[in-house]
Amino acid sequence: MKPIITDHLTDSGQKPAKPTKVMVVDDEILNLKLIQAMLKPQGYEVILAKDGQECLDKARENPPDLILLDIMMPGMDGFKVVDRLKAEEKFALVPIVMVTALQDVNDRVKALEVGADDFLSKPVDRLELQARVRSLLKVKAYNDHMVNYRQELEMEVQRRTLEIEQANLLLAKAHEKLRGASLETIFRLSRAAEFKDEDTGAHIISMSRISARVAVKMGLSNATVESILYASPMHDIGKIGIPDRILLKNGPLTDDEWSIMRLHTVYGGKILENSDIGFLRLGEVIALTHHEKFDGSGYPVGLVGRKIPLAGRIVAVADVFDALMSRRPYKPAFSSDQAISIIKDGRGRHFDPEVVDVFLEDTAEVQRIWNSSQEEHQNAVTETLKTVK
């Protein structure tokens, strides 16, 4: 038997940075001992296996960093061992060096096809063995580093993704809370224009919800519907500038008083103008245009038809319906049928026909919204009085 180690070159003495595991597989005990003697002084942990099955068993129990594998072995030859090892994910990056006396090109091609990474010919040169082992272990260390880096990167991405999801959830909750607070603030500020008239306390609640309902039925986007819900309560905010003697007059207004009353649209526009906030800009539009009429006879400008912004045309219907249903100093409350009849009669003259048609198709829901708004307002007043007492 030929020895597999030749000794004509001296040992370089270089050791790897840290102990690594090298498995040597050969059915010849002498060959195992010689390679072990060659590698152990280099600082490697050498694992010996005398056949293919022992190689598989030991590798699965204690995975090596590199395998030196003889091809010609009884039972399971080196080709089968490589094929079995590379079929398992944990050995995919473990370098396998075929140590063989075979010189046939077909055998080497076959070894590469089943997954071998390199070859050493018997008898093995000492320096060549050490160099191949060092080189392949460096490749293995780099591959392990890249795998670990990828895993760490994936974990970091998962961690950051979770952080972003949690932050987005908190942001969404904060936005929802802020949106609710903003809407409440708008309602409270809008009430300032009607504070002295107890019969109009529920007006901004019901007319804003009815406006939003009509906008939904007209197929407007969720963002537009929400903006109308936020902005419509400010439609009469300009009444802050109207004298109480006119605003609370118990009876019809004179022509001069009507001239002053109509200025609340202009005052409202001035209060809300030049805002960077979207629903406040829409509030300005609504304040200015909710008393414009489809036939051009409205105020303050006398816009005609679709020159009146859609939000103003929607709010005009909701505002008049609620006003008709509510008692005012100058009139009693009308019945639902009376209010609906007046809206219907104003189609094409006072109101946009399309908005009226949508409104009339949904009167049951409009009535429910109006009733619930009155109840909600009355409950709030009752709770406030309890607190005061």
* Residues 370/317, Cβ–Cβ less than 8 Å: no
- CATH code, 114: 3.40.50.2300
Q: 25 phi and psi, to 5 degrees?
A: -125, 120
165 in any annotated domain: no
For residues 226 and 303, give the distance between their C-alpha atoms in angstroms, rounded to a whole number. Answer: 25
pLDDT in tens, 186-206: 666 666 655 545 445 678 889
Q: Do 131 and 256 reside in the same domain of the chain?
A: no
188 in any annotated domain: no
Compute the C-alpha angle 335/341/261, nearest 5°.
Answer: 80
List the structure tokens of 299.
């105020």
Q: Do 313 and 204 reside in the same domain of the chain?
A: yes
Q: Is the omega angle on the peptide bond into residue 300 within 30 degrees of 0, that is, cis?
A: yes
H/E stretch holding 145: helix 126-191
Q: Do 205 and 339 reside in the same domain of the chain?
A: yes
129 in any annotated domain: yes
Averaged pLDDT, 248-277: 89
Comparing 19-28, 103-112, 177-186, 346-355, which segment has the lowest mean pLDDT? 177-186
Q: Do 226 and 333 reside in the same domain of the chain?
A: yes
* Residues 134/104, Cβ–Cβ less than 8 Å: no
pLDDT in tens, 307-333: 999 999 999 999 999 999 987 766 788
Of 328 and 77, the one with more pLDDT:
77
- CATH code, 230: 1.10.3210.10
List C-alpha distances in Å: 186 to 93, 207, 213, 234, 278: 65, 14, 19, 7, 14
Residue 73 reports pLDDT greater than 70: yes
Question: How many domains does the chain divide into?
Answer: 2
Of 294 and 375, the one with more pLDDT:
294
Q: Do 135 and 213 reside in the same domain of the chain?
A: no
For residues 163 and 288, give the distance between their C-alpha atoms in angstroms, rounded to a whole number. Answer: 45
57: domain range? 5-148
Of 173 and 217, the one with more pLDDT:
217
pTM (two decimals): 0.56
Which residues face 46 on adjacent strands? 22
Q: What is the pLDDT of residue 12?
A: 46
